[in-house]
Amino acid sequence: MMDEGFLGYFRSNGKVGIRNKIVVISSVVCANTVARRVAEKIDNAIAITHPHGCGQSGRNFSNTFNILAGLGSNPNVYGALVIGLGCENLFSIDLADKIRESKKPVESFNIQDVKGGTIGAIEKGIDICKGFDKEAKELKREFFNFSHITLGLECGGSDATSGLTANPTLGIVSDKLVNLGGTSILPEFAEWGGAVHLLSKRAINEEVAEKIKEPFKRFSGENRSPGNIAGGLSTPEEKSLGNIAKAGKSPIQGVIKYTEKPGEINGLWLMIEPGLDVVSMTALAAAGANIIVFTTGRGTPFGSPVAPVIKICGNPKTCEYMANNFDIDASKIITNNKTIEDISVLLWKKLKDVCNGEKTISETLGFEEDIGFWGG
Amino acid sequence: MNKIKYVIIDSKDNCGTALDKIPQDAKVDLVNKTIKINNVIPLGHKFAIMNIKKGSYIIKYGEVIGVSTEDISEGDWIHTHNIRSSYLKVKNDG
């Protein structure tokens, strides 16, 4: 049954991609422009650049390294080229080795090691990526079931409509995916504060429940602003439920930290990370999400370098003003008497289409290059 | 007359949420009955879809969002004046 699966790209490590991208990753800020110049010459290539790679230590260093490695290892990536400068402390060869653990084609070099300066380095990078591109184009999509999909559940630019329209709509779709054997990841732990007791009840065992409660031994659960209360959120429970509605009602299999990936058991996972939109989306893609659904009320434009991002908005005014930034208009729940279930059918269809290769709006617009890190 | 815009997110809920300002005395058609709204309900705010005794749970998203601090009648506005968190001790005056 076509409804129960999608056409994706098989990877040697057993994962399945819904895109077949080539990524050109700078290991240090100094290599950013070379990485971009290489990527712009290759079909399906994208540069992953950032302001780090030198002068970082401790957790900031390991976060940069692990996030870049995670993005390069994402199942939507066919092959990765890592370009360093040559004197930084985040070695391009170490990053390439880490990405190579995902068993995909990976190459690396440093600009200082190429005779010919940056012109020579760009040419060398283009040659390597042309090789990847030729191989990638020979790979054909095959049929897989939804157990190979990992969905990132993100929201940002939220408003009073989010918890009433787009978030519960996504919850239905996430539950459907989980029921078909797939995986969802809910980030933004700070938003769970008023519903920790409800989330921990959904944990598959006591150990997972403790991991959900643990961060809140240090943080207050009250997460509402005065504006939230004026907008009708009467209790912290209500605010948090509006946020975690994105994750439906599925049992919680485990809790991962920032830069970690879900374990072997599919299903709903929680991720501890700060909840800044671009940081969260980057962390989801680095955790192996091959698709992200982003719910919004006030609107937001960006995508992700490796995971297609489906935008769904519930605010009628935003849906009018930023119509060409959204894949799904959930404001019809407000304006057209559509139900949450009605819109969830559209969102599930869109998710399937995007898995099969249909471009999301942020992909079509090319809003894919922004990434962010926790700390810095 | 425009249809009143509201959402009841889960079938277990005992409140609805206004998706537009609902005027006082408006009639709201639910699945099995019509109720009269007793106060102005601002956008994003809740109203009771049944009588709720003092000390009872308020259910939204199919989960407990708080407990009533007084008897609430069908059609009443529900907010910080008549419910409180059942999970955290919080200041509720914003």
Mean pLDDT over each residue of chain B, to the nearest integer: 92
Q: Would you state the pLDDT for residue A9?
A: 98
Q: How far is CA A158 from CA A162, A312, B93, in A?
A: 6, 11, 22
Domains of chain B: 6-84 (2.30.130.110)
Q: Would you state the pLDDT for residue B93?
A: 44
pLDDT at A21 over 90: yes
ipTM: 0.94
Q: Can you tell me whether residue A270 is helix, strand or coil?
A: strand
- Start-end of H helices in chain A: 32-39, 58-73, 92-100, 117-138, 166-179, 196-201, 206-213, 226-230, 236-244, 277-286, 316-321, 332-335, 340-355, 361-365
| Better-scored residue on pLDDT, A4 or A364 | A364
β pairing state of B6-7 and A77-84:
unpaired
What pLDDT, in 10s, does the model give residues B9-38? 999 999 999 999 999 999 999 989 999 999
Nearest by CB to A238, which of B7, B43, B60? B60
pLDDT at A85 over 70: yes
Mean pLDDT over each residue of chain A, to the nearest integer: 95
Task: For residue A35, give the nearest of A109, A140, A142 by alpha carbon.
Answer: A109
The average pLDDT across A183-190 equals: 95
For residue B72, the chain A residues in CB contact (below 8 A) are: none
B94 pLDDT band, cuts 50/70/90, is very low
For residue B40, the chain A residues in CB contact (below 8 A) are: none
Cα–Cα distance measured from residue A271 to residue A258, given in angstroms and rounded to the nearest whole number = 7
Percent of chain A with pLDDT over 70: 99
The average pLDDT across A50-61 equals: 94
Contact A163, A128 (CB under 8 A): no
Residue with tokens 């050109």: A24
Cα–Cα distance measured from residue A313 to residue A302, given in angstroms and rounded to the nearest whole number = 14
Cα–Cα distance measured from residue B38 to residue B82, given in angstroms and rounded to the nearest whole number = 14
Amino acid identity of B5? K
- Token couple for A372: 């962010």
Work out the minimum CA distance from A308 to partner chain B, whole angstroms.
28
CB distance from A241 to chain B under 8 Å? yes
